[in-house]
Structure 1
Amino acid sequence: MERLTGMDAIPVNAEAGPMNIHITALLVLDPTTAGPEFDADHLYSQLVERLPLNPLIRLRILQKPLRLGQPVFVDDPDFDVRKHLHRLAVPAPGGPRQVAALVDDIHRHRLGHDKPLWEAWVIEGLADGRLALAVKFSHALSDGVGAVNRLLPTLVSTHPDGAPDVPEPEPAAPLPGTGGLLADWLAETAGNVAGAARVVGRGTPQLGRAVVERLFSTANAPRRAKGEDDDPRLRAAPADTPLNRPITERRTNAFVDVELDRLRALGAAYDVTVNDIFVAACTTALREWLLANDAMPDAPLQVFVPISTRSADDEAFNSWSLAMVRLPVFLPDPLERLAIIHDTTNRVKTGRGTGGPAVDVADLLQLVPPNLMRVAANAYVHDLAAPLRPPFFHACFSNIAGPRETLWLGGARLEAIYPFGPLFQDMNVNLTAVSYDGKFGLGVAGCPDNVPDVWAITDAWLAALDELERLQPE
């Protein structure tokens, strides 16, 4: 039995209405490298053999009585990998849009809590004889970086003839009884009391100083991003656009990849990071979408940017913090947008210009009772005050560092990885990328009732890279 942290439990406690908090990863395989015997049947057999070796795959959620305290993960004594595996065929001609249409339906449905929080689909019929594997897993089970480090090694190896180096799992223990769950709740409550004291001790003095400085001093205010003092629009409340309309249950997805060296070269040319180039291209893509839909705002967009805090030996289910970044989407000059984005992300990384208390969000979430989180999530989904407040966020941009080397599954080469992240009630688009084997794979998830053509966003993202290449200094 392993208790979830407040951060881990968000996808369990906060799923409400059309808001499903899971990740879907599309893995494309080249079976020709493994010989004629590697077909969809063979891939399915490989999954049946390999997946149960990972203990994460066998974990299911167990709630405490009356949902007192955070839920726990337990080994599922009735685990059957075949209950999680499915097969699909892509309609002809088996191109990216046909594959994405299958992912649309996979990504839209919520994972049940009566069995381990994942499912997988073997997809055949891709063009050129490729096979694909779509894996959907709850964010409670892992964040994106954790999936690369802890889930992916179950399936693949770094040698064509290699097998995953995963130890045999221990036999499942009996499910804990009511007494054990209540004892865990008491231990959790005692820990939360101590945690609350730490949060108050760390946060209150800094919060007080921040309030005093905000009220009585502007001389020492943090320097704003380049150009922000000159353009009052960058200080305005986040814009109201179709990107923050209430989502529905439907999902639509698109994907594309480029050579990672393209982004590295652009980063070097402009003296910025690869992530800055990624965010700038995403900003341009949303700008082009807003222009095409006659919805260009005169205020910034606000974007949710998860930042991994996972170390090499981190075994936590989730290790990340968040930043809320405002994007100057209304500025026509792509180089000016890039400069502002670079300055903003640099201040986020260094902690400059936050203007608030340095209290870890994970520490705060640990103190929120699950039942209160459920009430808050339902209130958020049915937010009648949404037209009266600024949007919380318009989009999510996430950049995941993946494996650098070529990976293999039973001799079949893993060609590409495309991730698709969750949407929130007033966030209609998620752009998540993962680097792998010299490629940079972008997956875009959207709500088609508000963002009907996410392929236009991937096209605009590619065009944004082309534009930066044309404008780069000699």
Structure 2
Amino acid sequence: MERLTGFDALPVNAEAGAMNIHITSLLVVDPRRAGPGFDAERLYDLLVQRLPLNPLIRLRLVHKPFRIGQPVFVDDPDFDVRKHLYRLAVPAPGEPAQVAALIDDIHRHRLGHDKPLWEAWVVDGLAGGRLAVVFKFSHTLADGVGAVNRLLPTVLSPDPDHDPELPEPVAPAPLPGTGVLLADWIAEAAGNVVGAARVVGRGTPQLGRMVARRLIDMAGAPLRPRPGDDADPRLRAAPADTPLNRPITERRNSAYADVSLDRLRDIAAAYGGTVNDVFVAACTSALRQWLLVHHTVPDAPLQVFVPISTRSSADDDAFNDWSLALVRLPVFLEDPVERMQVIHGAINRVKSDRGPSGPAVDVADLFQFVPPSLLTLAANTYVREEVAPLRPPFFHACFSNIPGPQEPLWLGGARLEGIYPFAPLFEDMNLNLTAVSYDGRFGLGVVGCPDNVPDVWEITRAWEAGIDELDRLRPQ
């Protein structure tokens, strides 16, 4: 039995209304290297054999009575991989549009807590004879980097002729009873007293400044200039109110694309930035183009939620290990080169604010002290229609860039061709653009709420056009 931290449990404690906090990943597989016998049935059988060998796959969430403390993970004594694994066929012609429509329906539905927090589908009928695996898992089970480091190696190998070596699972214990859970709550409460004292002693001054500034950011108030801050003063205005921060519904709309990672590196080097700078700049161009067509480009910034991994190494076995950063986007600037320069400065500012060792107290630390029942109540209150007029535009989108393996990976001799992630939406955030780099490609997954952003393929094409524009204008 392993007790979750408040931050790890946040995705299940804060799910409310149309907010389903899970990640869906599309893995496209080319079976030609494996020979004519490799079909959807063979792929399904391989997953049946391999998935149960990963301990994460068998973890089941158990809530304490009345949710008075953080839930625990246990090895599910009733685990059956076939209760999680399904088969589908994508309609002809099996192009990305048909695959994305299938993902729309998979991604919209919430995972139940009565079994381990994941599901997977083997998908047949993709164009060119390809197969796919669509894997959906709760953000409580892993963040993006954790999924790459701890879930992918279950079934994928860098050697086409040999499967990954994993230990056989041991027999699980029975589910913990009420007495065991209450005893764990007492230990948790005692630990929280000590933890709270440590937080207060370690970071009270810094915490006060950080929380005040974060509340100002999230409440949409103008930012005060700081020494050396010579960016466009419009970036300090309150975030704009646009259709991108309307309340979401239960529906989802998905799209995906990929570009050469070397190309992004070359563009980044020409501007003196990073691949992530280019990614965010292209995302900003896409949002600007969408506003030009569907609304109006505001004379104020958009604000995006950018998760930053804080894992110390690839062996970090935390379920979630990241911190939150808010970045204001200069969508009002017409010149893409100027936008790129401002974004590079904004991201560097986020990094400098964190410092080499991060803040003394991170916002994530504070979730440890919030009772799950209170957090669930707050989330359900927040998403109520009556509260909508009172909510400021916290953030308009989420941009996330996840480094993945750069060598080709194989599943039973079939080559993994691409990885495309589809991440959550939040109550007033209608777009999520998340990317994973793999084997020289940069795979983008876009998720939107179609009731506010009707066509996310439009966003995807505008993102690709933003990269083309930066490439064409880059300094020689």
Could you tell me the TM-score, scaled by structure 2's length? 0.94
Q: Is the 8 A contact 1:94 1:126 kept in 2?
A: yes
Counterparts of 1:211 and 1:174, CA distance in 2: 42
Q: Which runs of 5+ in 1 are unaligned?
A: none
Deviation, 1:462, is: 0.6
Equivalence for 1:18: 18
CA distance in 1, matches of 2:350, 2:81: 42
Instruction: Indicate yes or no: 2:305 matched with 1:304.
Output: yes
Cα distance, 1:236 vs. partner?
1.0
2:130 counterpart of 1:130: yes
| CA displacement, residues 152-211 of structure 1 (integer Å, 9 cap, x when unaligned) | 000100011111121111111111111111111011101111111122223322356789
Gap change, CA 1:219 and 1:116, over 3 Å in 2: closer
The verdict on how the C-alpha distance between 1:357 and 1:40 changes in structure 2, with shifts beyond 3 A counting, is closer
Per the alignment, residue 194 of structure 2 pairs with 194
AA partner of residue 181 (structure 2) = L
Structure-1 residue corresponding to 2:371: 369
1:80 maps to amino acid: D
From 443, 460, 463, give the equivalent of 1:461.
Answer: 463
- Counterpart secondary structure, 2:326: strand
Provide the C-alpha distance between the structure 2 equivalents of 1:309 and 1:36, rounded to a whole number of angstroms. 43
Distance 1:227 1:115, change over 3 A: same
Code of the residue aligned with 1:162 in structure 2: it is: H
The CA deviation string for residues 29-84 of structure 1, in whole angstroms up to 9 with x for no partner, is 00011001100000000000000000100011101111110000011111100000
SS at match of 1:460: helix
Equivalent runs, 1:57-456 vs 2, <5 Å: 57-207=57-207, 221-224=226-229, 226-228=230-232, 231=233, 233-312=234-313, 313-351=315-353, 358-382=360-384, 384-456=386-458
Matched AA of 1:348: V
Distance 1:219 1:382 in 2: 32
Tell whether the 8 Å contact from 2:247 to 2:388 is kept in structure 1 after alignment. Answer: no
**What secondary structure sits across from 2:151 in the alignment?**
helix
Whichever residue aligns with residue 405 of structure 1, its letter is E
Change (3 A) 1:384 1:295: farther
1:397, 1:56 → 2: CA distance? 26
Amino acid at match of 1:86: Y
Contact 2:34 2:414 in 1 (8 A): yes
Q: Give SS of 1:46's match.
A: helix
Q: Alignment RMSD, CA only?
A: 2.0
Gaps of at least 5 residues in structure 2 are: 214-222
The reply on whether 1:471 has 2:467 as its aligned counterpart is no
Q: Which residue of 1 aligns with 2:218?
A: none
Distance in structure 2 (CA, Å) of the matches to 1:206 and 1:298: 32
* Deviation of 1:28 (Å): 0.2
How big is each residue's C-alpha offset from its partner over 1:282-317, in whole Å with a ceiling of 9 and x where there is no partner? 000011011110232221111000000112221111
Secondary structure of 2:386 counterpart: coil
Which residue is 2:41 aligned to?
41
Instruction: State the secondary structure of the residue aligned to 1:115.
Output: coil
Asked if the contact 1:195/1:363 (under 8 Å) is kept, the reply is no
Q: How many correspondences in the alignment?
A: 464
Partner Cα separation in structure 2 for residue 358 and residue 73 of structure 1? 28
Structure 2 letter corresponding to 1:12? V
Give identity over the alignment, percent.
75
Alpha-carbon distance change, 60 to 104 in structure 1, aligned in 2, over 3 angstroms:
same
